[in-house]
Amino acid sequence: MMDVAKLARVSPSTVSLYLRRPSAVSPSAGQEIDRAISTLGYVPNLVAGGLAAASSKVVSIIVPSIRNAFFAETVSALQSELAADGLQVLLGHSEYAEDQEEALVRTALSWAPAAIVLTGLSHSAGTRKLLQASGIPVVEMWELGGKPIDMAVGFSHPQVGATAARHLLSKGRRSLAFLGARMQEDHRAEKRASGFAEAARAGGVSACEVLNHPGAATVEAGSLLLNRALQQVSGLDGIACSNDLIALGALFECQRQGIAVPDEIAVMGFGDLSFSASCIPSLTTIRPSGELIGKEVARLILGSIHGERPEGASRIVDTGHVLIERKSS
Amino acid sequence: MMDVAKLARVSPSTVSLYLRRPSAVSPSAGQEIDRAISTLGYVPNLVAGGLAAASSKVVSIIVPSIRNAFFAETVSALQSELAADGLQVLLGHSEYAEDQEEALVRTALSWAPAAIVLTGLSHSAGTRKLLQASGIPVVEMWELGGKPIDMAVGFSHPQVGATAARHLLSKGRRSLAFLGARMQEDHRAEKRASGFAEAARAGGVSACEVLNHPGAATVEAGSLLLNRALQQVSGLDGIACSNDLIALGALFECQRQGIAVPDEIAVMGFGDLSFSASCIPSLTTIRPSGELIGKEVARLILGSIHGERPEGASRIVDTGHVLIERKSS
DNA sequence: GTGAAAGCGCTAACAA
DNA sequence: TTGTTAGCGCTTTCAC
């Protein structure tokens, strides 16, 4: 920066100012600086900038797994929005483990990030304490219904489960099953399941089983779970899945066993993944809109950084969910 | 760090040394420091550390899109391996655009990262110059067959295409089509296509068309592409797809139109995604192992940082590809 | 094995 | 609108 300043015949602080607020510098000086930057090939050192400013142009995002299409969609949208404002994304995977999340939060804080984004509302006491003490803007995403540390963007998972149950009830289904995966760790999936069971019981079903596959939510898990459901629920005529991949596996398994969907069993998923509109039969599902979540998280973060921090009710954004009715139900 | 030093009754430099090389400090001093750290809840400032050390504990990863399951798998594996060594991942999306990639590289360099990971071997001249001038370890991944900037981990895409063509030929198929998406931007998919076409012609096929869908590689694109292939290739009896999602769409479309797979048309994909073993019929595909790529990239990076930088042939790692034969062919 | 001292490259008062 | 000045919190020689 000193070299740039020397070549442009201004002081380093003018260069610094120009880089951060170009309008605060006279146009002629700005042009000189621009020229000097490009002839020297100057690349600013954001590490030094972060140290001096006591806050770096980085946003730390912690998700359970980037291999999950939901979070990939959100991170992708978030990254695009933040990059437009010169913010970088520091990514971490908690693998659904609170202690791992706490370790990631600790490292994240060492970067003095402009904001921290976490997934869900369940965190260790240590994580909460670290974040509250830091004073850094925190956004919890993909879940609503508890008390957020700072801000939250998402939707109610029990309500998603209830929507699924009511849809199956409206189709005259009375022997239901909820097929979920990794629910011992994935609290949000577990909440969809309990919301489903509650609404199903309130609707007076004759049977409602919640089945869990301890491994990841995959197509194969869906096949396994459908078979277990057939064994455990007599007269099974409706299933809801915690993820479209599981629903797809269930559809395949029905096809293999000659079970007509939706005539014998109605199937619905969650996520509205890319294949859900095109599979056979097309899949009724609930769309949470990971992209919208990403955009809203970005909006809250940019608001916190630039203008004033959002206050009161505006610190919680409900992105809702949408039932997409297709042929599988 | 000064507070920790005061409480532990040592100098700040001893604390710093202990944090980086515990064995260089006497056990008694180490214990005192540990105690002081936990009573004070000290979190090191990596920004300051990065500035002083002129290199930060960050690895910048630039992929075309994290929503692509291939890259999600690699980034996931890579981040786990790096996190075990205290390295953070800075993520960027190029969206298959070289100028966007260059902008990301420029920002990445401002963080003085310990290493930079790029996708593929095609980059703008500016990107190459920036990286070469930086002296930072660079790993290009998911492609082999050109001259890497520094190190590379991946496989040959034309060879993948050739494997697909030979497989279909071995099944007696002679009217072939390659279904790809976004090939105007995704050079690797385009190379799989050209490798396929070349090997098909060398095998004496009667027809071989390469069809491109300009949008993303999705199930829906697969359905559209299959229909176009049916129109353009008379007697079509074998198709290879640049991605398992496209292949799944083709399978669905065949089912819709009553085309028997593999009897009338053999279908194969690329990627071995989670549904490929479970769909109907199960999908013959080629597995590139994104996870292995991630692990090998991590190995090269950790080698460059700790020990000496890999030299000569060991700077290029071929992770190969594996044909997974299933029922769709 | 430990400590003193000199920065790393920038930002942000504040003064001019 | 521009420049001067004093750090930001750590690492890294180099003595001791």
Q: Locate the domains of chain B by residue range.
A: 2-44, 51-155+290-320, 157-288
A210: which strand partners? Answer: A178
Q: Does B81 touch chain A (CB under 8 A)?
A: no
CB B225 within 8 A of CB B249: yes
Q: How far apart (Å, rounded) are the C-alpha atoms in residues B152 and B296? A: 9
Chain B positions touching A130 (Cβ under 8 A) are 43
pLDDT computed for residue A322 by the predictor: 98
As ranges, strand C nucleotides with an atom below 7 A of a protein CB are 1-5, 7-13
CB-based contact B280 A109, cutoff 8 Å: no
What is the structure's pLDDT at B306?
A: 82
CA A71 to chain CA mean position, Å: 4
pLDDT tens for each residue of chain B, 329 residues long: 999 999 999 999 999 999 999 999 999 999 999 999 999 989 999 999 999 998 889 999 999 999 999 999 999 999 999 998 889 999 999 999 999 999 999 999 999 999 999 999 999 999 999 999 888 999 999 999 999 999 999 999 999 999 999 999 999 999 999 999 999 999 999 999 999 999 999 999 999 999 999 999 999 999 999 999 999 999 999 999 999 999 999 999 999 999 999 999 999 999 999 999 999 999 999 999 999 999 999 999 999 988 777 888 889 999 999 999 999 99
Q: Do B245 and A48 touch (CB under 8 A)?
A: no
Nucleotide at minimal C1' distance from the A11 CA = D3
Residue A32, both tokens: 């000189």
Could you give the 3-state DSSP secondary structure of residue A175? strand
CA of B313 to C1' of C7 (A): 39
Nearest nucleotide relative to A51: CA against C1' = D8
Contact, B305 CB vs strand C, < 7 Å: no
Q: Going by DSSP bridges, is the β-strand pair A266-268/B138-141 parallel, antiparallel, or unpaired?
A: unpaired
The pair of structure tokens assigned to A121 is 């509302």
> A43 and B91 in contact by Cβ < 8 A?
no
Q: What is the pLDDT of residues A9-22, one digit of tens each?
A: 999 999 999 999 99
Q: How far apart are CA A43 and CA B48, in angstroms?
A: 19
- Is the CB atom of residue B305 positioned under 7 angstroms from any atom of strand D? no
Contacts of B93 in chain A (CB under 8 A): 76, 79-80, 83
The verdict on A313 touching B (C-beta cutoff 8 Å) is no
CB A273 within 8 A of CB A245: yes
Residue A307 has pLDDT above 80, yes or no: no
CB contact under 8 A, B109 and A256: no
Distances, alpha carbon B281 to alpha carbons A7, A255, B244, B277, B285, in Å: 68, 11, 13, 9, 12
Tokens at B194, concatenated = 């050209």
B52 CA vs C7 C1’ separation (Å): 8
CATH dotted code for A51-155+290-320: 3.40.50.2300
Q: What is the CATH class of A157-288?
A: alpha beta
Contacts of A108 (CB under 8 A, 6+ apart): A60, A62, A90, A92, A116, B88
A64: which DSSP letter?
Answer: S
> pLDDT (tens digit, 9 = 90+) per residue, A243-288?
999 999 999 999 999 999 999 999 999 999 999 999 999 999 999 9
Number of residues in chain A: 329
- Between CA A30 and CA A36, with CA A31 as vertex, the angle to 5 degrees is 100
Side-chain half-sphere CA neighbours of A46 within 13 A: 21
Confidence at A91, pLDDT banded by 50, 70, 90: very high
Query: Nearest nucleotide, C1' to the C-alpha of A12?
Result: D3
CA A291 – CA B224 distance, rounded (Å): 25
Question: Residue B86: its pLDDT value, please?
Answer: 87
Query: Mean per-residue pLDDT for A205-225?
Result: 96
Structure pTM? Answer: 0.93
**So what's the pLDDT on residue A114?**
94
> What is residue A307's three-state secondary structure?
coil
* pLDDT, position B320: 97
The per-residue pLDDT for A14 is: 94
In the 31-70 segment of chain A, residues within 7 Å (Cβ) of strand D are 48, 51-52, 54
H or E stretch at B70: helix B69-83
Closest nucleotide over all strands to B3 (CA to C1') = D9
Q: Is B198 on the interface with A (CB under 8 A)?
A: no
The enclosing H or E element of A316 equals: strand A316-318
